[in-house]
Amino acid sequence: MDVPLTVVDEDWQSVTYEAVTLVPGERVCCRFRDMLPRETALRRLARTYVVGMSHQVGDGECYHARQIITPCLRSHGSIAREQAAVLAAALVETERRAVCGATAATLRTHLVERAVDWRP
């Protein structure tokens, strides 16, 4: 159908693409989940962090958690944790600002842990 694909979801083991087009009388949406090769998935898992954040909303607290895959392959330790916290704050602001007022400036990070070490 010659329609551009967009990434709609991504985790350490797969990427989900979506194509949307209009055909006479209806909108057609097709999603495809591409499983990554095992070696690639394990490398991405090693760069995945769980980030927990919170911010004040009125008289209460609003909590957010995100899984973030750090972009730099050679980043370890504190640099990777910093990258994960910054990316998570930007993602929460993009997704939730209109709902709860979260901004990168108001979010306080209380957890940054490698996904392979994280226990709920």
Question: For the CA atoms of 35, 40, 114, 9, what is the dihedral angle to 10 degrees?
Answer: -30
CA distances, 35 to each of 11, 48, 78, 85 (Å): 10, 17, 30, 26
Q: Is the pLDDT of residue 74 over 70?
A: no
**pLDDT number for residue 78:** 84
Question: Tens digit of pLDDT for each residue in 8-51?
Answer: 999 999 999 999 998 888 999 999 999 999 999 999 998 999 99
- Unique residue bearing structure tokens 């985790």: 11
**pLDDT number for residue 120:** 78
Q: Is the pLDDT of residue 73 over 70?
A: no
Token pair for 107: 């979010």
Average pLDDT rounded to a whole number, residues 70-90: 85
**pLDDT number for residue 83:** 92
